Every structure is written in structure tokens, then in C-alpha cells.
């Protein structure tokens, strides 16, 4: 057998090499017995010597006892080893934030939102320091949110001349000057108290309250635009405090060891029925059961909402008024990688039950909003079921968002006929985008059916419950941002709603009722986003809009024909985030409407302007 090589000191390098006798086979070994050389690391240590460590050195070839084997009973998941696998001479640290503060890496300051801060839930509360809070245990976290939202918005849109009086005596035109100015300042205070380490599992319980204070100022060039009384001025300042969130979120159970769960949330809470907010996107009073399954690949919602009244001028929730007789019930389910990988599919069923025919509602400025002052001016009840499919994800390199809804139900009193009418309306929208380095290119399309015959006891104009769409430029777009009054066809009626894309002929998106006797909408658009730097983005949009059917407009305006073409909506926005976070966001956008034949047929102005514009300057600061 091969013998080990022996290493000798350098001072013995001149010694004569020792001869190793050749082995003999089949003969009696007459050579003196040689000592057997053991492989290194197999020698038996004296009993009084630590076999593992000698004076701080590890003995060569020594293998210490290993911890118990970690068994994996949850294939596919990454699990931490059991406590037995950790050395017993190390002391665990309660949380990493106190460790880095002790080492001097971070020093907490209550006013600093960019680093670790107890006020924004980075570390648990010490119950001894907040004895006034009804909490027990060491896993309660406090979250404070402060938001300042400032809006300055000069714009032009068709403004009718007041019936009784005008700012310019002698004006005989139907439409007067069109320039106006809006300033709005909103402060939001949010407070949250959460139990449980939410990094890997849902919170055990969460309490949350959010209050919003709004101050707004509006200046328009004509009387009776802001107030119903002609004696009041054509400018207005107002303020309001709204309750935007006030809910309790309770964790019912975990359904798997990967923290699939069921929870319930009760109170005023945010809810968005689909990916882009086409059907319902609001903060409302309700109860919601929600959770997930299959490692979060499946998510579900079961919700019921009792809609609150809104303040007229701020759009905030008013809890000092009786809630509306308007209820929304929603059930939806999300499934990741459904139909194709990387695409999340959502199926929605929603039921809107409205019983406001017997109530007359007048807004804070004196204008009737329910019932809408259209047709026979009578109140309405209606029941509508929405069936929808929504998708969000990608197909290869193409990003895709799509929505499709059918609205089926009954209007108890159509304002054209004073009879029952069946509701049969449909909606579809899609956006495709392609990313190339720091650029994204978008194509958008939307189709909402309009009512082709107001007197056939069938309403086919699609309308939502409370839309807030993030689509085709969102509130950068002129048509989505501005409300166009339907002068001459109804009193205090808008063709469209502010921050809405549907031409629903409602008195108000916030306080009015859904209306399925409307001209519908068609949109085709293109846009591009350019991330010029990590802090600066330039976004552009070009949309062309049409009415889907102008039969209702012709009836209400007593006109023989009205073209469908609304015109071109062109917009651009510059967005700057100086800290490359969402704590400070500044946006400056401009939009223009180049009217088509249908818009020019409906509206005119005293100065003969063909185009309308809007500018939006917005600064959001968050803590």
C-alpha cells in the first residue's frame, strides 16, 4: 500500500534518506516490526485533551457533532432552521432596528420619514411608554400618515350665461366667457394601530382612522354656476372635514402554513372593484370579507357597502348626514396565471340596489341632484347587476390591462317614459403597453354602449356606480378631469363627470344616481411615458373621443341630428420626485380639447374659441 509522505524540518534537509524495505510475498517476514503510520487526524487524543479545540485552535481533521437534521415538510418553501441549529453561545437580538441604532448606523428622529421610525411602524411600541393605549403584548405597531395635497387648476370649458342675470349686462349669448380657476388644499391625517409582525403574515388586528380637511376656492366668469341664487357672486370659498377611513380589520384564521388567511374589515374603508377603477373606486361604509388561498395565487372579496353622502364642493365623505338609500354588494375572485402565465384574471359580480325615488336631495349650493332634472323630473329606483371580467399582467413583452362589464337590471321609472325599463348595457376597455429601456409606449381603447332609443323601455347606455379610472392619462386628460355642463338639455347636468370617463348625463358623480339613458362613449388613444431620470418622468397622451349614440342628446336638445365626434384630447405631464420616493411628488400637466363636429354642435362660446384647455399643478407631500 502507499505510505504517507512525512514532512521534516528544513534543518534536516541534508540528512540521508531512509531506505524503506521492499515487501516480501509468500515468505516469512524476517524484518523487524515497523510502526504503523495512521492517517493524519485519526490519532487518539489523550483523555485530558479537548479533541475539538486546543488553545483556541481547531484540531485538524476534527468534525464537531452536527445539529439535528432539518426536515422539510413544506416543499417549495424556505424555512428557517430550528433553534437547535444555532450555537448556544450567541444571544438573539429582539429586533434589528435597535441593533443598528446601538451600532450607530441609524439614529431615530421622529420627524425623519426616510429612516427607521417608530411613528411609521418600523419597530413595536413599548407598552410601558404608552400606558394610555389599550394594548397588551410586545407586537403592537403604530403608523402615522400625514399628506398634503395641493392643486392649482386654471381651465376653460363651455359655461352657460345665467338665466336671470349675468356678470356682463347686455350679454345675449347662450354661452359666456369660459375661463375659470380652482384652488384646492387637502390635508389628510391617518392613524393606524396594528397587532402582529406583518412582514410574513397578515396582522392579527388593525384599527385605522383617516381624516381629511379640504379648503377650496373657485372663480368662474358667470352667475348661477356656483350658486343657485343669482344674487350670489361668481366666486366661492369653502371648507370641509371628511372621514375617509374608520375601520377595524380582524384576522379570522390562517388556512395554511404559508399564511393563506381569512379576514374581515368593518367600517369606512377603501375599495376598488377592478384593476383600473372603472366600476367602483371609493372609500365607503361597509363590511368586507377577504383573504387568499394557494400561496396567494387566489384572492377573494365579499363586500357590502352602504353609500355615504358626499360633501358637494370637496367630494369628501359626510358622516353628519344620513347615508343614502343606495347599496352595493360585490363578490370577486382573482387568480394568478389564469388562461396564460403572468396574467391575473378577476371575475366580478356586483349588485347595486337604489331606493331613492322618494327622496329629494339638494346639494350645498342649492342645486337639485336627486332626482336629476331631466325628462319628467321624477324620482327613480333601480336594480342593476354587473357581471365583469378583468385582466392585468403581460403576454410576453406586452403589458395588458383589460376590463369587460355587462349591466343587467331594471329601472323602475325611466325619466323619458315614466315606465319600467330593462337595463342592458355593456362596457369594454383595454390598454396595451410595451417597455423599451426607460420608455413605455401605450395604446388604449374603450367602448361603452349608448342608448339608441329613449322610448323603447330598454336602457342601453352603460353607467358605473362610482368610477375613478386610471386610464388613458387619468386626470391629466381634459375629458376625464373636467365636467362639461349639458346646457340646453337639462338643468345642472354634466355630459361627463369630474375624474370620470363615461358620458352618463348625471347631476353629480358624487351625489347623483346612475343613468342608463346616456349617449355612451368611445375612445381610442396612444401615449408614452419617458423616465428621463429616476426622479423625473414625462408622460404624453393623445385620445380621440366619440359619443357611441346621440339619440338621447337629440331628444333632450330637440335637435334633428348631432354628430358623434367629440374631438381630440391632447395632454402632457411632467412628474418630479426629488427624493426618488413617493414622499414628495410634484406634477405639472396641460391638456387641450380640440372639439369635433359633435362637440361644436352642442357648445359654443362668446369669443368663438375653438379649443379648450386645462392646466393642473399638483404637489403631494407625504410623511
Q: How far is CA 518 from the centre of its chain?
A: 29
- At 365-383, the pLDDT tens digits run 999 999 998 888 888 999 9
Report the run of H or E that residue 96 belongs to, with start and end.
helix 96-102
pLDDT at 492: 84
- Residue 351's Cβ-count burial label (10 Å; 0-12, 13-18, 19+) is middle
Question: CA-CA distance, 464 to 504, in Å (whole number)?
Answer: 9
- At 111-120, the pLDDT tens digits run 777 777 888 8
Quick check: 186 and 618 in contact, CB under 8 A? no
Q: Is the pLDDT of residue 51 over 70?
A: no
pLDDT at 87: 61
pLDDT at 161: 74
Three-state DSSP class for 557?
helix
> Which value, in Å, is the radius of gyration of the alpha carbons in the chain?
35
Three-state DSSP class for 161?
coil
CA nearest to 189, candidates 208, 207, 212: 212
**Runs of H (alpha helix) within 368-522:** 478-481
pLDDT at 93: 56
- At 191-247, the pLDDT tens digits run 999 998 767 788 899 999 999 999 999 999 888 888 888 888 889 999 999 999 999
- At 4-49, the pLDDT tens digits run 433 334 433 443 444 444 444 344 444 444 444 445 544 555 555 5
Three-state DSSP class for 261?
strand
Three-state DSSP class for 100?
helix
Three-state DSSP class for 41?
coil
The grid coordinates listed for 517 are 339613458
Question: Taking all residues of the chain, what is their mean pLDDT, rounded to a whole number?
Answer: 85
Q: Is the pLDDT of residue 2 over 50?
A: no
Taken in order of first residue, the domains within the chain and their CATH numbers are 124-622 (2.40.160.100)
Phi-psi region at 381: left, alpha or beta (left = phi > 0; alpha = psi -120 to 50):
beta
Place of cell 333601480: 382
pLDDT at 121: 81
Q: Count Cα neighbours of 296 within 13 Å in the Cβ-side half-sphere.
A: 5
DSSP code at position 198: T
Question: CA-CA distance, 352 to 380, in Å (whole number)?
Answer: 13
Question: CA-CA distance, 280 to 326, in Å (whole number)?
Answer: 13
- 548/15: higher pLDDT: 548
Question: CA-CA distance, 34 to 344, in Å (whole number)?
Answer: 77
Place of cell 391629466: 476
Amino acid at each position: 500500500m502507499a505510505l504517507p509522505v512525512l514532512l521534516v524540518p528544513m534543518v534536516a534537509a541534508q540528512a540521508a534518506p531512509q531506505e524503506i524495505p521492499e515487501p516480501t510475498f509468500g515468505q516469512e517476514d524476517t524484518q523487524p516490526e515497523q510502526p504503523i503510520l495512521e492517517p493524519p487526524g485519526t490519532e487518539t487524543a489523550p483523555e485530558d485533551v479537548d479533541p475539538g479545540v486546543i488553545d483556541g485552535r481547531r484540531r485538524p481533521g476534527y468534525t464537531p457533532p452536527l445539529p439535528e437534521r432539518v426536515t422539510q415538510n413544506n416543499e417549495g418553501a424556505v424555512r428557517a432552521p430550528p433553534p437547535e441549529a444555532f450555537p448556544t453561545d450567541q444571544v438573539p437580538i429582539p429586533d434589528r432596528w435597535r441593533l443598528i441604532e446601538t451600532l450607530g448606523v441609524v439614529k431615530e428622529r421622529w420627524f425623519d420619514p426616510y429612516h427607521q421610525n417608530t411613528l411609521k411602524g418600523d419597530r413595536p411600541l413599548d407598552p410601558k411608554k404608552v400606558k394610555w393605549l389599550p394594548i397588551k403584548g410586545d407586537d403592537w405597531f403604530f403608523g402615522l400618515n400625514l399628506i398634503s395635497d395641493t392643486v392649482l387648476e386654471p381651465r376653460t370649458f363651455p359655461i352657460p350665461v345665467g338665466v336671470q342675470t349675468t356678470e356682463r349686462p347686455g350679454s345675449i349669448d347662450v354661452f359666456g366667457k369660459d375661463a375659470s380657476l380652482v384652488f384646492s388644499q387637502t390635508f389628510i391625517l391617518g392613524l393606524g394601530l396594528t397587532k402582529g409582525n406583518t412582514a410574513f403574515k397578515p396582522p392579527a388586528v388593525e384599527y385605522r382612522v383617516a381624516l381629511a380637511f379640504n379648503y377650496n376656492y373657485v372663480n368662474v366668469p358667470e352667475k348661477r354656476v356656483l350658486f343657485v341664487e343669482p344674487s350670489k357672486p361668481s366666486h366661492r370659498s369653502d371648507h370641509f372635514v371628511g372621514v375617509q377611513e374608520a375601520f377595524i380589520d380582524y384576522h379570522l384564521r390562517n388556512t395554511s402554513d404559508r399564511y393563506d388567511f381569512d379576514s374581515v374589515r368593518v367600517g369606512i374603508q377603501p375599495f376598488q372593484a377592478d384593476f383600473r377603477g372603472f366600476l367602483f373606486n371609493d372609500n365607503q361604509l361597509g363590511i368586507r370579507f377577504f383573504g387568499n388561498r394557494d400561496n396567494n395565487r387566489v384572492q377573494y372579496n365579499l363586500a357590502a357597502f352602504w353609500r355615504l353622502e358626499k360633501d358637494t364642493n370637496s367630494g369628501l365623505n359626510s358622516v353628519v348626514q344620513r347615508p343614502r338609500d343606495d347599496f352595493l354588494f360585490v363578490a370577486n375572485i382573482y387568480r394568478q396565471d389564469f388562461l396564460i402565465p403572468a396574467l391575473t384574471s378577476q371575475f366580478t359580480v356586483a349588485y347595486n340596489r337604489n331606493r331613492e325615488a322618494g327622496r329629494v336631495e339638494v346639494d350645498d349650493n342649492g342645486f337639485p341632484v336627486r332626482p336629476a332634472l331631466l325628462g319628467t323630473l321624477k324620482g327613480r329606483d333601480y336594480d342593476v347587476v354587473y357581471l365583469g371580467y378583468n385582466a392585468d399582467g403581460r403576454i410576453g413583452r406586452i403589458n395588458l390591462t383589460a376590463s369587460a362589464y355587462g349591466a343587467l337590471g331594471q329601472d323602475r321609472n325611466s325619466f323619458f317614459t315614466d315606465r319600467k325599463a330593462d337595463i342592458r348595457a355593456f362596457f369594454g376597455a383595454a390598454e396595451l403597453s410595451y417597455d423599451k429601456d426607460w420608455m413605455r409606449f401605450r395604446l388604449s381603447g374603450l367602448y361603452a354602449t349608448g342608448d339608441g332609443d329613449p322610448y323603447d323601455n330598454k336602457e342601453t347606455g352603460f353607467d358605473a356606480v362610482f368610477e375613478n379610472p386610471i386610464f388613458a392619462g387619468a386626470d391629466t386628460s381634459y375629458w376625464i378631469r373636467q365636467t362639461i355642463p349639458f346646457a340646453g338639455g337639462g338643468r345642472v347636468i354634466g355630459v361627463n363627470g369630474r375624474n370620470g370617463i363615461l358620458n352618463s348625463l348625471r347631476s353629480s358623480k358624487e351625489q347623483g344616481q346612475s343613468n342608463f339613458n346616456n349617449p355612451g362613449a368611445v375612445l381610442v388613444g396612444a401615449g408614452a411615458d419617458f423616465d428621463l431620470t429616476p426622479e423625473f418622468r414625462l408622460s404624453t397622451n393623445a385620445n380621440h373621443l366619440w359619443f357611441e349614440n346621440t339619440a338621447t342628446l337629440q331628444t333632450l336638445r330637440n335637435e334633428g341630428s348631432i354628430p358623434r365626434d367629440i374631438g381630440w384630447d391632447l395632454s402632457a405631464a411632467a412628474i418630479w420626485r426629488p427624493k426618488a420616493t413617493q414622499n414628495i411628488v410634484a406634477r405639472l400637466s396641460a391638456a387641450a380639447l380640440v372639439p369635433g363636429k359633435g362637440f361644436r354642435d352642442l357648445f359654443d362660446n362668446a369669443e368663438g374659441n375653438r379649443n379648450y384647455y386645462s392646466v393642473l399643478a399638483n404637489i403631494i407631500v407625504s410623511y
